[in-house]
Amino acid sequence: MLDGSILKNLQLAHQSSDSGQRSLNFGVYYKNTLVALCHALEDSILESQTHPLVITAFQRGKWYLEEAERYGAIAQQSEAVVIMASDDAGFADHPTSQRPNVNIVPLQDDDPVAQEWHLIIVSPNYMAMVLCQELSTADYADLGLPQTDLERRFYGFWTFEPDLVLETAELAIAHLGSYQPTLQAQLAQRLATITQQAAQPQALCRQPTSERLGEVVARVVDYLRIHQTTLDSTTGQRPQSRHQNLDQNLTSNELQAFLRAAQLIDQADLSNPLAATEVATLAEAMGHLLDLPTWQLHRLRLAGLLSRVAGIGASHLDTSLPEPEDLDATSLPLTCALTPGTQVLRTMPRLRAIATIITHQTEWWNGKGYPSGLSGDEIPLESRILGLATAFQQHLAKRRSDRPGETASLTADQWLDAFVACQVDQSDRWDPKLLDTLELLVNGLRQGLELPIVTPKIAAGLWLLDSHCDQSPLVVWGQNPDRSSTLLH
């Protein structure tokens, strides 16, 4: 990273162990991926009434000119728009640049920000950003120089996290001081106001379980898929290896969109901020005890990490069940109710199996759960594991909250108490054989077994997807109940 760049300054603020800030997780993005991401995040401005402050860096004025008409529409829906780029002919003359709420900041060619690509959107009700820096010639050495513009690579990350977006906006505004001190002072004052507003309980940026988050994530995935379709149509125009790299980069960012949404939901729950990570760890540990194959452990972990996405719009879920004689097992995968969150997951074909696992985690062993009233081995094994791991984790979180101010480490008695709370529903809600597995895990934890709770590196999560992610759990386990019974004994 270039010294003096916004990305470098943010990274430095987070790398010190004394800063209290969590370390950042960077990835490499192709230009076509960043175009799709930025358009998706920008459309959330165009289709809402958030009226944000928008700060962008386009590298060169010619790239801004390609988007200038679009930014005219964005400016109409924004309180202020700041555009940074190295000066090109006509850069400041476009009609969009003349709007009263649009500020053009020509960068010096030696300014490290001239090598960066930023989109920072700040308002009390919507925050998002893309923060990247183009790879240098030296960085490209082993990868090979890009053959087309869309194959250019950038290093950085993107996020919806309000505090991180606000922190980055502050750094970007500070950078403007050497160019336009008056503008810097105006923006700093406005950012301070937005920061205060965003801290209020009614600020939608702090309410990630609202359906707006689902809409934003769905829009990101839609744009990435559109670019993927365009890429597929040009396969013959580039080597297959380059096409695969571009394709994987788009797929990786589809997955990142969901993981970032789940992470934001976790962070907003102050009483249980690591729920998804802990559920994923517990579910995967149970899978190991059941000697499940690696691909299934991957699915369990990914389902755990994404389980909270199902909570988007869950208050609108119809949990009523049809009468038992009306249930048709062959139609259940097509007719079961889905929350808006799981519907969003299904927009990515390779996550449909994960969506099915998450959807059916609320089924009961005795058939009285929802959404489909499945019972016994009709319930996908992964759904049974995920449901039990989720309930167990919630009991653990409650025991932590009962002892505020004390160490986050759980005692042997607390592990046992959480298990006993789950055991009450044995044979009604939970598979008795899975409770035996959980008991085995709890006994190990009480005797000193450690389960590291590690927040996943979102930009490196593509390994969680494999060919089995396309395979429906309902088909695998619903049609082969004997197989699940064999695994559990």
* Contact by Cβ (8 Å): 154, 7: no
Query: What is the spatial distance between Cα 286 and Cα 487, in angstroms, rounded to a whole number?
Result: 12
421 pLDDT band, cuts 50/70/90, is: very high
Q: Is the pLDDT of residue 336 over 80?
A: no
335 pLDDT band, cuts 50/70/90, is: very low
Query: What is the spatial distance between Cα 161 and Cα 216, in angstroms, rounded to a whole number?
Result: 13
- List, by residue range, all CATH 1.10.3210 domains of the chain: 275-488
444 pLDDT band, cuts 50/70/90, is: very high
Query: What is the spatial distance between Cα 147 and Cα 209, in angstroms, rounded to a whole number?
Result: 42
Give the least confident one: 147-151, 192-196, 472-476: 472-476
Percent with pLDDT over 70 in the chain: 74
Query: What is the spatial distance between Cα 82 and Cα 75, in angstroms, rounded to a whole number?
Result: 10
* Contact by Cβ (8 Å): 309, 211: no
Give the least confident one: 68-77, 253-262, 363-372, 422-431: 253-262
Q: What are phi and psi of 471, to 5 degrees?
A: -95, 120
What pLDDT, on the 0 to 100 scale, is given for residue 202? 83
What pLDDT, on the 0 to 100 scale, is given for residue 89? 67
Q: Is the pLDDT of residue 261 over 90?
A: no
What pLDDT, on the 0 to 100 scale, is given for residue 412? 85
More confident residue, 160 or 168: 168
What pLDDT, on the 0 to 100 scale, is given for residue 339? 58
Max Cα distance, the chain (Å) = 74
What pLDDT, on the 0 to 100 scale, is given for residue 474? 58
What pLDDT, on the 0 to 100 scale, is given for residue 324? 39
121 pLDDT band, cuts 50/70/90, is: very high
Give the least confident one: 72-81, 238-247, 274-283, 447-456: 238-247
Contacts for 443-447: CB closer than 8 Å, 24+ residues apart:
445/410, 445/415, 446/412, 446/415, 446/416, 447/412
Q: What is the pLDDT of residues 25-69, one digit of tens each?
A: 788 888 877 888 899 889 989 988 889 999 999 988 888 888 999
What token pair was written down for 113?
Answer: 């920000």
Q: What is the pLDDT of residues 171-181, one digit of tens each?
A: 999 999 999 99
pTM value > 0.85: no
Q: Is the pLDDT of residue 448 over 90?
A: no
How far, CA to CA in Å, does 214 sit from each of 54, 209, 217, 258? 22, 8, 5, 9
> Hey, which of 112-121, 220-229, 242-251 has the most confident mean pLDDT?
112-121
Q: Cα angle vertex 458, ends 392, 265, to 5°?
A: 50
Query: What is the spatial distance between Cα 96 and Cα 88, in angstroms, rounded to a whole number?
Result: 15
More confident residue, 475 or 289: 289
Architecture of the domain whose range is 275-488: Orthogonal Bundle (1.10)
328 pLDDT band, cuts 50/70/90, is: very low
Give the least confident one: 38-52, 146-160, 321-335: 321-335
Question: Is-cis flag, bond preceding 371, omega within 30?
Answer: yes
* Contact by Cβ (8 Å): 44, 219: yes
What pLDDT, on the 0 to 100 scale, is given for residue 230? 62
